[in-house]
Amino acid sequence: MVPSLLSFKNVLKDITQFFTNTEDFEACSTTAMVWIAIAITLAFVVCKFAVAKDKQRLVNRIFLGIALAFTVTVIILFSVVYFTEDVKKEGDFVPITYYPLMVFALVVAASVIAVLVKPDRIVKLCALSLTGAALLATLICLFVYWGSGDAETTNWIDLDAGKNAGLYVSAILLIAGIALIAVFTDKGSKGFDSRSLAFAAVCVALSFALSYVRFLKMPFGGSITFASTFPLMLYSFMFGTRKGVAAGAVYGILQAVQDPWILHPAQFFLDYPVAFAGIGAAGLFRSLGVFKDNMRAQFALGALVAGALRFVSHFFSGAFAFGAYGLDAAEEYGIAALESPYFYSFVYQCMYVIPEIIIVIIVGVILLSSGNLCSQIERYGAHKKTAVPATDVKVENTDVTVESADVSDENVAGENTAKNVTDVQTPEDKN
């Protein structure tokens, strides 16, 4: 067993070769984006510690602009790469699923822009209607693709009735569970406003760009990225689990456009909208008010819950939809246990979901060590302030004391005046 487990050293070899890979344009571009992302992050951290406090707001604006420019560049670059290289490969492009997903993503983007420009009721209703229609059309195309049998033929998989039932049941249970978490842990949350929509658009775009910056790409979907889900988790942390779940579900659709592995409608939900909607649970502990004085603990624990939800969603998808691949893995690596679809799916998800969550937690804890970032989260987020500095409390108490004293003086004066008035007797009283 031990020698066979060592065969997973190929994963480490792949990661090592990644940083020096110059075989094709996509590999070179990905490597370049990794180094650029690392450089931007390090520069931001250095500036946060080196620049004076009165210049911190300027630093934030500069790096926000740099991050957005990086996002747009990555999205355009890899979209071109996908259509010029990946589409040419036989079996990598399925028009009946790709184009509806692309249209849905464009409709969502156009709806967000329209609501930001003119946030009235009619625009919101139109945007919601168009988004719902695009989603319904996408689901119809997915069912047509699955019903035609092309999905199973393309992926060399045969789904029986038990696997179909497992996919549907697990998808329904996870959707219900995530919905309950969002509703009951964020009861005071209001609907999307212009500010929360703008932040959602920026965070989804940043996560989507960072998802192209991969340290390791798994053979059947999934990858280890440069903390690509951190912007989504930060958004949930700032605006609550309800909005975080919604933003995560939209991001999941974009992931289906970027790296489509679609075999079954329920599997599509498990691997994309549901899995990344679970990322929205990252704001769970802040919404509940647990560890109010420790943002790093709130974020780290929330990220663990979010990662667990994503892991479970991918696990069920892997076990019921792609478990047959475990036979080939057992033969290749000499591990008989991989023949079990459940063990195979567990090992497969562990190889990229857990490292991804560890990277996100490390990045989040480092960035939340900045007092300036924490104050910005308090300022722009939807939650009430969790703690007030001691100096402010003293001043506020002093003001309250002074005001109370003034009020007391006024009351005393009022009582004396009233007493004097009552002491003055009218002629009727004398009589």
For residue 18, the model assigns a pLDDT of 46
The pLDDT tens digits for 232-257 are 999 999 998 999 999 999 899 888 87
> End-to-end alpha-carbon separation of the chain, Å?
115
What local confidence, expressed as pLDDT, does residue 88 receive? Answer: 53
What are 70's two structure tokens?
Answer: 């990086």
Q: How far apart are CA 24 and CA 244, in angstroms?
A: 37
- Minimum mean pLDDT range among 41-45, 173-177, 384-388: 384-388
Fold of 160-380: Arp2/3 complex 21 kDa subunit ARPC3 (1.10.1760)
What residues pair up with 224 in beta bridges, in sequence order?
216
Neighbouring-strand partners of residue 151: none
**Which has more confidence, 63 or 13?**
63
Residues of the chain with pLDDT > 90, as a percent, come to 23
pLDDT tens digits along 72-116: 677 677 667 666 665 555 446 678 887 888 888 888 878 877 887
Count of C-beta atoms within a 10 Å radius of residue 213: 24
Whether 375 shows a pLDDT value over 80: the answer reads: yes
What's the pLDDT score for residue 129?
92
170-174's contacts with Cβ under 8 Å and 24+ in sequence apart are 170/266, 170/270, 170/316, 170/317, 170/320, 171/266, 171/269, 171/270, 171/274, 171/316, 174/270, 174/274, 174/278, 174/309, 174/312, 174/313, 174/316
Look at residues 225, 308, 310 and name the one whose alpha carbon lies nearest to residue 270. 310
Model confidence band, residue 408 (pLDDT cutoffs 50, 70, 90): very low
Residue 3 predicted with pLDDT over 80: no
Average pLDDT for the chain: 77
pLDDT, tens digit, for every residue of 353-362? 999 999 999 9
The pLDDT assigned to 404 comes to 42
**425: confidence class by pLDDT, cuts 50, 70, 90:** very low
CB 33 within 8 A of CB 75: no
Each domain of the chain, given as residue ranges in start order, spans 94-148, 160-380
Tell me the pLDDT band of 313, cut-offs 50, 70 and 90.
very high
Which pLDDT band, with edges at 50, 70 and 90, does 15 fall under? Answer: very low
- From the list 205, 308, 185, 301, the residue with the least C-alpha distance to 250 is 205
Among candidate residues 54, 146, 28, 34, the one with its CA nearest the CA of residue 94: 146
In the chain, pLDDT over 70 holds for what percent of residues? Answer: 74
Cα 368 → chain centroid: 17
Does residue 350 have a pLDDT over 90? yes
Q: Give the pLDDT score at 410.
A: 45
